[in-house]
């Protein structure tokens, strides 16, 4: 009898443009494909069932995070190999014929893998409501950021900076690079003792605390995560900064007042928060940044960019990590900020720095994987491994970028 692996390998040849690019191991113990290729194990017929109902990235991601599909060896190496093969064979433009689809379904039927779609993994985001309403945005942020403060403490550096760091060289540690990034932001904003700064989307407070502690700024930080607010307030108290840092559980759209009368903050920072406001709301976000700062004051936005399709980052990211996120090419973001009334004074590309940043996070992640599994379970750990490895590849290969955009409100 022909084994499951051989049956499936023959069925998918039209979809992968030729010979199977991986060594396939099926749940019946059979194997197919090149012996020297990355090894992919299908541990359950449900893996095939997911790929039939959700072809491509989403079905594969669902099967991986549930453990129905396993990649043996280095995940980065395997995914890089898959991307290289897809590019070399032009698979993104390939459309299977009806006979090819019929043969694939017949193969699934013959292996016992045909059936109703398996339920979505428990770790997949479930957000409801009007896109980018206040309620839906809070739910989307909670899905990603409220895993627990301890989870992020085990992955990030001690400052809890969850954004691209700035590496002077390859010998720079993640902690040193995050401190350098925060210094870079504060210096570009021209912070001096007594100046008032607004930190829009302050996360766990890395910028707010750094600006207050090292530059003497009076800081207001905004977050819509209650766990983040509690974390920052404890750090503020522990460091004796209660007279310099205020943390508000507040959406950026709820910032009261405007600076049209000459009042307002002396500086505004927003690190990797603009991706979450959505395409239609970005003009509102830009307007809030302008209104919050006094005329002549500086604004710095650090933001990821992405050209082409999938402005949300792709099916996996959109479904498991950051639902409703929206990215665009750098030039489009600059144009939106300029139309919002801000004068762009400089742009600094930092794409390569994100590769090193994620490498540091991934090292922390793997060093603490046992405790992380206790905290969130095996499925979420698999989600995060795929997220970190895939994210690093996207920045390494130029599919995503990140930039610091320094602006000034005209006097």
Distance CA 213, CA 148 (A): 25
Report CA dihedral (231, 234, 240, 245) to the nearest 10 degrees: 50
Distance from C-alpha of 340 to C-alpha of 108, rounded to nearest angstrom: 53
Per-residue confidence (pLDDT) for residue 395, from 0 to 100: 97
- The full set of domain ranges for the chain reads 4-110, 134-408
Confidence at residue 263, expressed as pLDDT on a 0 to 100 scale? 65
The DSSP code sequence of 292-320 is: HEEEEEEEEEEEEE--SS-TTS-HHIIII
State the average pLDDT for the chain. 93
Per the CB < 8 A criterion, the answer to whether 26 and 70 are in contact is no
Which residues on adjacent β-strands are paired with residue 77?
Answer: none
Spans in the chain with pLDDT lower than 50: none
- What does each C-alpha distance from 332 to 179, 262, 336, 348 come to in angstroms? 29, 29, 6, 15
At residue 127, the pLDDT reads 80
pLDDT of residue 365: 98
DSSP class of residue 321 equals I
For residue 94, the model assigns a pLDDT of: 65
Segments in 166-318 forming alpha helices (H): 174-189, 206-215, 226-238, 282-292, 315-316
Neighbouring CB atoms inside 10 A of 187's CB total: 11
- CATH class for domain 134-408? alpha beta
Q: Tokens for 4, please give them.
A: 């499951």
Q: Return the closest-CA partner of residue 127 out of 140, 142, 145, 111.
A: 140
Buried/exposed code over 343-377 (b: 16+ C-beta within 10 A; e: otherwise): eeeeeeebbebbbbbbebbbebbeebeeebeeebe
Q: Residue 297: how many CB atoms within 10 A of its CB?
A: 24
């Amino acid at each position: 009898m022909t084994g499951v692996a051989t049956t499936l390998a023959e069925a998918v040849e039209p979809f992968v443009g030729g010979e199977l690019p991986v060594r396939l191991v099926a749940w019946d113990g059979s194997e197919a494909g090149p012996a020297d290729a990355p090894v992919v194990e299908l541990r359950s017929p449900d893996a095939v069932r997911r790929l039939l109902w959700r072809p491509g990235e989403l079905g594969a991601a669902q099967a991986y995070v549930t453990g129905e599909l396993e990649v043996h060896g280095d995940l980065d190496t395997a995914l890089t190999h898959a991307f290289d093969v897809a590019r070399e064979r032009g698979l993104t433009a390939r459309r299977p014929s009806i006979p090819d689809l019929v043969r694939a379904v017949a193969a699934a039927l013959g292996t016992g893998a045909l059936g109703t779609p398996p339920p979505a993994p428990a770790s997949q985001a479930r957000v409801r409501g009007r896109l980018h309403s206040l309620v839906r945005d809070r739910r989307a942020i909670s899905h990603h950021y409220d895993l627990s403060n301890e989870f992020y403490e085990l992955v990030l550096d001690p400052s809890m900076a969850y954004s691209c760091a700035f590496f002077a060289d390859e010998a720079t540690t993640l902690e040193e690079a995050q401190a350098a990034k925060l210094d870079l932001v504060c210096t570009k904003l021209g912070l001096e003792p007594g100046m008032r700064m607004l930190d829009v989307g302050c996360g766990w407070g890395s910028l707010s605390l750094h600006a207050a502690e090292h530059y003497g700024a009076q800081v207001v930080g905004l977050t819509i995560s209650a766990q983040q607010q509690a974390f920052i307030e404890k750090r503020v108290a522990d460091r004796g900064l209660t007279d310099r840092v205020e943390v508000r559980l507040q959406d950026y759209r709820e910032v009261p007042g405007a600076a049209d009368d000459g009042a307002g903050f002396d500086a505004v920072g927003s690190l990797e928060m603009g991706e979450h406001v959505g395409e239609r709301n970005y003009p509102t976000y830009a307007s809030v940044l302008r209104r919050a700062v006094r005329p002549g004051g500086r604004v710095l936005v650090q933001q990821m960019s992405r050209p082409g399709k999938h402005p949300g980052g792709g099916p996996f990211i959109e479904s498991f990590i950051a639902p409703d996120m929206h990215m665009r090419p750098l030039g489009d973001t600059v144009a939106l900020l300029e139309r919002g009334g801000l004068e762009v004074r400089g742009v600094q590309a930092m794409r390569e720095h994100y590769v090193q940043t994620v490498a540091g996070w991934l090292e922390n992640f793997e060093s603490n994987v046992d405790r992380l599994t206790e905290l969130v379970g095996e499925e979420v750990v698999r989600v995060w491994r795929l997220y970190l490895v895939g994210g690093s590849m996207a920045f390494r290969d130029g599919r995503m970028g990140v930039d610091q955009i320094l602006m000034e409100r005209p006097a």
